[in-house]
């Protein structure tokens, strides 16, 4: 099984099984001794276990992290951190908790250590998406990047199958869009292809053995690589559209990525033939968009926006928001085109091989 420690200039990564035991020493390495432990309500028990490991280094717990990082929740956590004179945050959980940790640490200028329990990948990016007034916006800055990430494969073994699928496809989306980003490089191409192979290979292996650490390790490794892609290049239509659907319409983050990805790929395919060829080869399918959709369907993942709570009456508004600001994308973005994409995604229409 994969296990490694990577000390880079900007971020330290510890990867393996049982590595949660290294949280205290890693916090010491950051010269931090007063940590605020963050989690979602559903991960409160895990946060409590982490507090026990940290002992006197943990000064408080905040278990109110929620999806899409609403600023009002961040302000509550900032108040707790200030009242307890925290010099670090330790975020344990998925992307919601990581986002809150980024928001708190960057506002206060304190250390940030992340213990991921899903395949979100955001823990290795200097990007923060925040929601205010029903609108989700993103910003990027060096101080947003967490200082240390501890990947413990054993913490992912309790992920239900459905969550494992949507979380892994969320990571897959980072790698897919990196291959047709306007600032892609040979290095990010290599990262993206390796990430895709790890994720697409890890999911069937996990289904065959839900308790197997090797498959979980492969998925977590792929998520790490995909997250590095997300942090290295600009994202296009897929990510912008998912931010709109999540931030404004409060759809579940990973499930939204899972549904939208093949439709966003199909939209961009005419202008990204090289990338689609690389993706198809990596997933061992004839076509990239239809191949990803087929894979999701075979793994019993969500394939329509309707089944995850989106209303058809909101299609026009979502298209308007997604087309309101220009951003890099291989194919020209039009409101009509995005509307059509959302109509197909709402119904879960089969993507036909081109």
pLDDT of residue 9: 59
- pLDDT averaged over every residue in the chain: 94
In a domain, 128, yes or no: yes
Locus of tokens 């947003």:
144
pLDDT at 8: 58
Q: Are residues 140 and 186 in the same domain?
A: no
**pLDDT computed for residue 230 by the predictor:** 87
Please tell me the predicted confidence (pLDDT) of residue 6. 65
Average pLDDT over residues 141-158: 96
Is residue 143 located within the same domain as residue 166? no
How many domains are there within the chain?
2
Residue 354 included in any domain: no
Residue 211 to residues 114, 158, 205, 280, Cα–Cα distance (Å): 24, 9, 10, 29
Q: Name the percent of the chain lying above pLDDT 90.
A: 87
pTM of the model: 0.93
**Average pLDDT, integer, range 204-211:** 92
- Residue 54: the pLDDT is 97
Residue 331 to residues 121, 228, 259, 266, 269, Cα–Cα distance (Å):
26, 24, 20, 11, 8
**pLDDT over 70 for what percent of the chain?**
98
Place of tokens 């925290």: 86
Q: How far apart are CA 38 and CA 49, in angstroms?
A: 12
pLDDT on residue 303: 97
Among residues 54, 197, 49, which one has the least CA distance to residue 117? 49
Give domain status of residue 352, yes or no. no
Q: Looking at the structure, do residues 172 and 308 belong to the same domain, yes or no?
A: yes
pLDDT for 302-328, tens place per residue?
Answer: 999 999 999 999 999 999 999 988 889
Q: Tell me which of 98, 128, 156 is where a domain ends.
A: 156
Give the end of a domain, one of 120, 140, 156: 156
Kindly state the average pLDDT of the residues 84-100: 97
- 80 shares its domain with 125: yes
Q: Which residues form the domain of 336?
A: 161-347
- Residues 179 and 294 occupy one common structural domain: yes
Which helix (H) or strand (E) segment holds residue 317: the answer is helix 315-322
Same domain, 132 and 184: no
In a domain, 353, yes or no: no
CA dihedral 197, 202, 203, 206 (to 10 degrees): 170
Which residue, of 121, 156, 191, is where some domain finishes? Answer: 156
């Amino acid at each position: 099984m994969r296990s490694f420690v990577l000390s880079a200039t900007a971020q330290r990564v510890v990867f393996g099984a049982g590595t949660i035991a290294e949280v205290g020493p890693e916090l010491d390495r950051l010269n931090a001794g007063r940590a605020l432990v963050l989690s979602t309500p559903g991960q409160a028990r895990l946060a409590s276990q982490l507090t026990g490991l940290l002992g006197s280094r943990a000064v408080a717990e905040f278990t109110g992290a929620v999806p899409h990082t609403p600023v009002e929740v961040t302000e509550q956590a900032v108040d707790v951190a200030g009242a307890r004179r925290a010099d670090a945050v330790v975020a344990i959980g998925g992307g919601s908790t990581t986002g809150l940790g980024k928001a708190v640490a960057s506002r206060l200028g304190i250390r940030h250590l992340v213990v991921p329990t899903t395949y979100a990948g955001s823990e290795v990016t200097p990007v923060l998406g925040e929601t205010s007034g029903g609108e989700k916006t993103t910003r990027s800055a060096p101080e947003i990047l967490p200082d240390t990430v501890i990947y413990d494969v054993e913490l992912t073994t309790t992920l239900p199958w459905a969550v494992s699928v949507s979380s892994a496809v969320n990571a897959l989306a980072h790698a897919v869009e990196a291959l047709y980003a306007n600032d892609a490089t040979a290095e990010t191409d290599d990262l993206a292809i390796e990430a895709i192979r790890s994720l697409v290979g890890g999911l069937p292996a996990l289904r065959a053995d839900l308790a197997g650490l090797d498959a979980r390790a492969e998925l977590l490794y792929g998520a790490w690589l995909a997250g590095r892609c997300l942090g290295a290049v600009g994202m296009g239509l897929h990510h912008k559209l998912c931010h709109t659907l999540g931030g404004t319409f409060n759809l579940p983050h990973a499930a939204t990525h899972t549904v939208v990805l093949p439709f966003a790929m199909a939209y961009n395919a005419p202008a990204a033939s090289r990338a689609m060829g690389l993706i198809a080869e990596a997933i061992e399918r004839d076509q990239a968009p239809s191949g990803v959709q087929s894979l999701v369907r075979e793994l019993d993942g969500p394939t329509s926006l309707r089944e995850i709570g989106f209303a058809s009456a909101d299609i026009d508004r979502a298209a308007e928001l997604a087309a309101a600001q220009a951003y890099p994308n291989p194919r020209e973005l039009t409101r009509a085109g995005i509307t059509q994409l959302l109509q197909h995604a709402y119904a879960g229409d089969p993507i036909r091989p081109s």
